[in-house]
């Protein structure tokens, strides 16, 4: 029993002497190593973006999406192990459908976030399961108030509401960039550009190809969570890449 | 972890759950089937279940809608029905929207039990949300919705627990105009005009006489109103407050309620027995 | 409510079955088979549609024609078609009509306590390329014959077929082919006459007769209008 966890990391039902559940820490590491995911809440909605790393050139563009709606008024962006993130999204869809069939109305943002947090937390309590190696950003339009909200759900079961957040590789730089934005005055249309810029600039050259995925839920999208329309997204990404090239050129001078 | 069951599940299938797929459901079903004592089991009762009494199935409809008519025309398809739902012979709910939009290219309407129709609509909404979550812009086509509903209706009759409706599905997609119906035991067909319920007797002969697939919208609407009037004159559970919905390649539109002009003053209505020797 | 006979039982006022009418027919020849059905779908005195096809192709040389309750027929055909597809993947060849006939029997018999209310005829070419007709009851008992008719027009058509197509007794030795001696076009004409005849008296038979002809060249279809009344 020697090594990193010295036997305290074999199960979530064992604490380490200093009170940690190593399995959860490892799960968070899996998240930190995955591609960047960021969320920006602005005056009229929420924008989610991910830097989807492409390990293989032959991958079909637009496949293996990391951002997806879970109901008409809610969507998620995953960071970390993609299959784990997909499982979380699938559960979120069930929660939404279930709430709708029971109460006949769309699930409120807080309840969805709570239930998903509980779900994730369950996987930190029993020896027979492992925590999810994924964290998700949740963007919702609360059906009662019509307000847009952004949550982060972590493998530990932690759930917090944010104005802006970034997870995964390069999150620190991305968070700094998000903090500089004037979120309260910014529209989603502007935020899409910022999100693209942050993803493009924080992208690590060492990683090979990547795809920038953008989705939003805002007044422009009719209060429904969906992909940012192709023309807007393409333009934002192209502008971000141009800006980056200009910067590089200036640096080289 | 408690498994979450939604009424529509892609693995389990539409509307019903066969045994052996979902142990939690099997247990619940067995419990519902088991004869229960009429003594309330305090503390042991399951939440949200009606306690004593065995499981009962629908024996007859309670609140019902009558005739729905549908026909194709040059640019698409239209369906029509009144806005009334009856409790037995009581005209109980007079402003029911009996035509529902399913997605951007499909509408459905019903005859028979209102609550069963609500259930069917909730199934379709769930299905549509599942589609939406794919976020690829694709939706089920009208004929796919129809096929799905055929399986739902048929599976429920197999459980001897039918959904007490005839449904009419109409839509246009990929340049194909669709008009189909399905009944409470799963019998179904497509046609260029159709009627569910009493309209089968009253309206279809008119359709057969006058309908063509390439008629203009005005002609189709006129014919539809004639058919509605014919039904209205003979069907006591029908009301002079109608809606017509149309689907074309350009989209769908459900009209505001309207009336058809009626005339009960025909000469031969005045002394009906005079012209029917032997009647009383 | 106890269902042991001690008290009144509530009986549902609906039936899980309906008879949607229609007539199906098949005639086997030495190297062809003809299968036909009308396209009317009725319930009671109502004609629901004049264009309901009762014959479906199950594999390359095998078709199934079903009259009776259409929802059952459609379900049955969907199930069988799926099994034929799986069979083809697993065996690298389409299912033969003799195997299909056995499978249909098994499928019907499996549901004998809640039967498919369908009257089926399987028509196809067997391994030797001879015409084959299989005729069923609703719970799966079946036999191979050289002609058969089922559905609402059965009583009108079957005697005609018996008269026109009677073949050599199986007791005659040496054994002789039981296939009808008619040529393909003669058989098609006979089928058309049969349906025109049934359409005169049977209110559940009419509109159009759809005729499938299977021979070594493949599958061909013909249509003939019937009376609409």
pLDDT tens for C200-222 read 999 999 999 999 999 999 999 99
Residue written as tokens 């591609």?
A: A35
Quote the mean pLDDT of chain C: 92
Q: If we measure between CA atoms, which residue out of C178, C161, C160 comes closest to residue C169?
A: C178
Contacts of B163 in chain C (CB under 8 A): none
Q: What is the CATH number of domain C23-225?
A: 3.60.20.10
A201, two tokens = 């600039």
Q: Which chains touch C (3 or more CB pairs under 8 A)?
A: B
Question: B43 in a domain, yes or no?
Answer: no
DSSP letters spanning B78-132:
EEEEES-EEETTEEEES----EEEEETTEEEEEEEEHHHHHHHHHHHHHHHHHHH
Which chain B residues touch A71 with a CB distance below 8 Å?
A: 129, 132-133
CB contact under 8 Å between C70 and B60, yes or no, is: no
| B133 touches A: beta carbon within 8 Å | yes
pLDDT value at B275 more than 60: yes
Count Cβ atoms within 10 A of the Cβ of residue A183 and give its class: 0-12 exposed, 13-18 middle, 19 or more buried. Answer: middle
Q: How crowded is residue C77: how many other Cβ atoms within 10 Å of its Cβ?
A: 20
Report yes or no: B240 at the A interface, CB cutoff 8 Å.
Answer: no
How many Cβ atoms are within 10 Å of C194's Cβ, its own excluded?
24
- Structure tokens that stand for C206 in this block: 């009419």
Given a cut of 80, is residue B21 above it in pLDDT? no
Three-state DSSP state, B170: strand
Interval C22-34 mean pLDDT: 96
Q: Cα angle vertex B84, ends B82, B88, to 5°?
A: 135
Determine the 3-state secondary structure of B150 from DSSP.
helix
Which listed residue (B4, B58, B90, B106) is catalytic?
B58
pLDDT value at C73 more than 70: yes
pLDDT of residue B49: 52
Has residue B234 got a pLDDT over 70? Answer: yes
Nearest to B133 among A69, A100, A122 (CB): A69
**Going by C-beta distance under 8 Å and a sequence separation of 6 or more, which residues neighbour residue C202?**
C23, C152, C153, C156
Chain B contact probe: residue of A12, A101, A124 with most B CBs at under 10 A: A101
CB atoms within 10 A of CB A56: 7
- Closest-approach residue (CA) in chain B for A99: B6
Report phi then psi at A190, rounded to 5.
Answer: -70, -40
Look at residue B8 in the predicted model and tell me its pLDDT: 53
CB contact under 8 A, C74 and B188: yes
**Distance from the Cα of residue B246 to its chain's centroid:** 16
> Residue C14 pLDDT more than 60?
yes
* Alpha-carbon gap, residue C225 to B92, rounded angstroms: 47
Q: What is the pLDDT of residue C169?
A: 73
Query: How distant is the alpha carbon of residue A108 from its chain centre?
Result: 19
- Residue B30 has phi, psi (to 5 degrees) of -60, -40
Output the pLDDT for position B43: 47
Give me the pLDDT at residue B119, please. Answer: 95
Give the C-alpha distances (Å, rounded to integers) separating B245 from B81, B99, B112, B147, B258.
Answer: 9, 7, 19, 21, 12
Report the pLDDT value the prediction gives residue A251, as an integer from 0 to 100. Answer: 78
Q: Does C48 touch chain B (CB under 8 A)?
A: yes
Q: Supply φ then ψ for residue B279, to 5 degrees.
A: -80, 170
CA dihedral A3, A9, A15, A17 (to 10 degrees): 10
Q: How far apart are CA A7 and CA C8, in angstroms?
A: 69
CB contact at 8 A, A211 and A36:
no
DSSP β-bridge partners for residue C149: C25
DSSP B71: E
Average pLDDT over residues B149-175: 96
Q: What is the mean pLDDT of each run of 10 residues along chain A (253 residues)?
A: 74 92 95 95 96 90 93 97 96 95 94 97 95 98 96 97 96 96 94 96 84 95 95 96 87 73
Residues 6+ apart with CB under 8 A from C59: C84, C87, C88, C94, C95, C96, C97, C100, C124
Entry pTM? 0.86
**Can you give the residue ranges of every domain in chain A?**
22-54+63-244
| Among the ranges given (A78-87, B15-24, C20-29), the one the predictor scored with the smallest mean pLDDT | B15-24
* Position B2 confidence tier, pLDDT thresholds 50, 70, 90: very low
Question: Using CA atoms, how far apart are residues A198 and C170, in angstroms rounded to an integer?
Answer: 87
Q: What are the φ and ψ backbone dihedral angles of B266, each rounded to 5 degrees? A: -60, 145
For residue B220, is pLDDT > 60? yes
Respond yes or no: is residue B67 known to be catalytic.
no
Q: Among all residues of chain B, which has the CA nearest to that of A224?
A: B132
Tell me whether B201 touches chain C (CB under 8 Å): yes
pLDDT at A2: 56
Q: What is residue B31's three-state secondary structure? A: helix
Q: State how far Cα B30 lies from the chain centre.
A: 30
Confidence of residue C136 (pLDDT cuts 50, 70, 90): very high
Residues 6+ apart with CB under 8 A from A20: A8
Element (H, E) at A153: strand A148-153
In B126-227 the beta strands, taken as DSSP E runs, fall at 165-173, 176-182, 188-190, 193-196
Residue A58, number of CB atoms within 10 A of its CB: 5
Which candidate, C107, C105, C151, C100, places its Cα nearest to that of C123? C100
The confidence band for C2, taking pLDDT boundaries of 50, 70 and 90, is very low
Average pLDDT (C78-95) is 97
With an 8 Å Cβ cutoff, the interface of chain A facing chain B consists of 65, 68-72, 91, 93-98, 100-101, 122, 215, 224, 226-227
Work out the number of other CB atoms within 10 angstroms of the CB of residue B201. Answer: 16
| A117: enclosing H helix or E strand | helix A109-122
CATH classification at residue B190: 3.60.20.10
Chains that touch A (3 or more CB pairs under 8 A): B
What is the enclosing helix (H) or strand (E) of B223? Answer: helix B217-234
| Least trusted range by pLDDT, from A32-46, B38-52, C93-107 | B38-52
Scanning every residue of chain C, which has its alpha carbon at the shortest distance from the alpha carbon of B200? C46
Residue B170 lies in a domain: yes
Q: Residue C157: which of C193, C118, C117 has the closest Cα? A: C193
pLDDT tens-digit readout, B201-212: 999 999 999 999
Contact yes or no for C14 and B162 at CB 8 A: yes
**Cβ within 8 Å of C, B 48-87:** 54, 57, 59-60
CB < 8 Å to B158, chain C: 16, 114
Give the domain range for residue B218: 63-254
Query: Do C96 and C62 meet the contact criterion of CB atoms below 8 Å apart?
Result: yes
Interface size between B and C, measured as CB pairs under 8 A: 53
Rounded mean pLDDT of chain B?
Answer: 86
Q: What is the pLDDT of residue B46?
A: 53
Contact A69 B8 (CB under 8 A): no
Rounded Cα–Cα distance for residues B197 and B191 (Å): 16
Report the pLDDT averaged over residues B42-68: 68
C-alpha C106/C-alpha C99 separation (Å) is 11
Give dist(CA A1, CA B22) in Å, integer. Answer: 41
- What is the rounded distance in angstroms from the CA atom of residue C168 to the CA atom of residue C145? 12
| CA distances from residue B66 to A134, B107, B224, B255 in whole angstroms, order as listed | 53, 17, 16, 18
Sheet strand arrangement including A148-153: A67-71, A74-80, A134-141, A148-153, A159-162
Sign of CA dihedral C36, C38, C41, C45: negative
At B257 the three-state DSSP class reads: coil
pLDDT greater than 80 at residue C11: no
Q: Which of A53-67, B250-264, C133-147 has the lowest mean pLDDT?
A: A53-67
Radius of gyration, alpha carbons of chain C: 19
Residue C176, pLDDT score? 74
Whether residue B269 is predicted with pLDDT greater than 60 in this model: the reply is yes
A72–B8 CB contact, under 8 Å: no
* B with C: touching (≥3 Cβ pairs within 8 Å): yes
CA-wise closest residue to A136 among A190, A215, A239:
A215
User: To 10 degrees, what angle do helices C154-165 and C184-201 make?
Assistant: 150
Specify if B49 maps to a domain: no
Whether the per-residue pLDDT at C7 is higher than 50: the answer is: no
Inform me whether the pLDDT recorded for B41 exceeds 70: no
Tell which wins on pLDDT, B46 or B258: B258
Q: Do residue C18 and residue B184 have CB atoms under 8 angstroms apart?
A: no
Q: What are A150's strand-pairing partners?
A: A139, A162
CB contact under 8 A, B132 and A69: yes
Cβ-based contacts of B154 with chain C (< 8 Å): 71, 75
Residue B40 confidence (pLDDT) above 60: no
Name the CATH superfamily for A22-54+63-244.
Answer: Aminohydrolase, N-terminal nucleophile (Ntn) domain (3.60.20.10)
Percent of chain C with pLDDT over 70: 94
């Amino acid at each position: 029993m020697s090594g990193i966890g010295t036997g305290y990391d074999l199960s979530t039902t064992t604490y380490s002497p200093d009170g940690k559940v190593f399995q959860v820490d490892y799960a968070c590491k899996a998240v930190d190593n995955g591609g960047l995911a960021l969320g920006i809440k602005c005056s009229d909605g929420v924008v989610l973006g991910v830097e989807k790393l492409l390990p293989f050139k032959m991958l079909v563009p637009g496949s293996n999406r990391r951002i997806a709606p879970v109901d008409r008024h809610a969507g998620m962006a995953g960071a970390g192990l993609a299959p784990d993130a997909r499982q979380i999204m699938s559960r979120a869809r069930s929660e939404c459908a279930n709430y709708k069939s029971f109460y006949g109305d769309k699930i409120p943002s807080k309840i969805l976030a709570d239930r998903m947090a509980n779900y994730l937390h369950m996987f930190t309590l029993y020896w027979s399961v492992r925590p999810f190696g994924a964290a998700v950003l949740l963007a919702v339009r609360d059906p009662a108030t019509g307000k847009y909200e952004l949550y982060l759900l972590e493998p530990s079961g932690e759930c917090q509401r944010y104005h802006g957040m970034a997870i995964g590789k390069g999150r620190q730089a991305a968070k700094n960039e998000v903090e500089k934005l004037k979120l309260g005055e910014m529209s989603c249309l502007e935020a899409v550009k910022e999100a693209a810029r942050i993803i493009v600039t924080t992208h690590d050259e060492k990683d090979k190809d990547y795809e920038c995925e953008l989705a939003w839920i805002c007044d422009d999208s009719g209060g429904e969570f969906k992909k940012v329309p192709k023309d807007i997204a393409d333009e934002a990404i192209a502008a971000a890449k141009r800006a980056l090239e200009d910067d590089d050129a200036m640096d080289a001078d | 972890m408690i498994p979450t069951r939604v009424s529509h599940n892609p693995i389990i299938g539409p509307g019903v759950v066969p045994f052996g797929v979902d142990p939690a459901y099997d247990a619940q079903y067995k419990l519902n089937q088991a004869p229960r004592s009429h003594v309330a089991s305090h503390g042991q009762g399951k939440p949200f279940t009606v306690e004593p009494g065995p499981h009962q199935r629908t024996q007859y409809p309670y609140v019902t809608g009558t005739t729905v008519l549908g026909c194709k025309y040059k640019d698409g398809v239209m369906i029509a029905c009144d806005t009334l739902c009856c409790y037995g012979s009581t005209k109980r709910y007079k402003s029911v929207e009996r035509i529902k939009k399913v997605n951007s290219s499909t509408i459905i309407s019903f005859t028979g039990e209102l609550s069963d129709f609500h259930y069917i609509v909730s199934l379709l909404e769930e299905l549509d949300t599942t589609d939406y979550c794919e976020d690829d812009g694709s939706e089920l086509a009208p004929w796919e919705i129809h096929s799905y509903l055929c399986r739902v209706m048929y599976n429920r009759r197999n459980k001897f627990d039918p959904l007490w409706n005839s449904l009419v599905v109409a839509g246009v997609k990929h340049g194909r105009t669709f008009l189909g119906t399905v009944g409470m035991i799963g019998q179904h067909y497509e046609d260029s005009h159709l009627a569910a319920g009493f309209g089968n007797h009253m309206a279809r002969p008119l359709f057969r006489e006058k309908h063509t697939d390439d008629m203009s919208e005005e002609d189709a609407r006129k014919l539809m109103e004639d058919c509605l009037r014919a039904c209205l004159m003979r069907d006591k559970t029908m009301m002079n407050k109608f809606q017509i919905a149309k689907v074309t390649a350009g989209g769908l539109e459900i009209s505001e309620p309207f009336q058809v002009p009626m005339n009960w003053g025909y000469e031969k209505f005045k002394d009906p027995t005079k012209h029917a020797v032997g009647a009383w | 409510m106890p269902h042991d006979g001690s008290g009144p039982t509530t009986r549902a006022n609906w039936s899980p079955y309906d008879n949607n009418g229609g007539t199906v027919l098949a005639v086997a020849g030495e190297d062809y088979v003809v299968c036909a059905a009308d396209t009317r779908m009725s319930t009671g005195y109502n004609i629901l549609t004049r264009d309901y096809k009762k014959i479906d192709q199950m594999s390359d040389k095998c078709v199934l024609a079903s009259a009776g309750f259409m929802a059952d027929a459609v379900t049955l055909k969907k199930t069988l078609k799926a099994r034929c597809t799986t069979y083809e993947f697993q065996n690298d060849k389409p299912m033969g009509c003799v195997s299909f006939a056995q499978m249909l029997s098994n499928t019907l018999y499996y549901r004998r306590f809640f039967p498919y209310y369908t009257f089926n005829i399987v028509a196809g070419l067997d391994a030797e390329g001879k015409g084959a007709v299989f005729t069923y009851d609703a719970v799966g008992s079946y036999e191979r014959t050289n002609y058969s008719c089922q559905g609402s027009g059965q009583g009108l058509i079957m005697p005609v077929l018996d008269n026109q197509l009677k073949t050599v007794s199986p007791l005659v030795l040496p054994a002789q082919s039981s296939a009808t001696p008619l040529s393909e076009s003669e058989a098609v004409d006979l089928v058309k006459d049969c349906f025109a005849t049934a359409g005169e008296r049977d209110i559940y038979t009419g509109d159009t007769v759809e005729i499938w002809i299977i021979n070594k060249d493949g599958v061909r279809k013909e249509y003939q209008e019937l009376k609409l009344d």
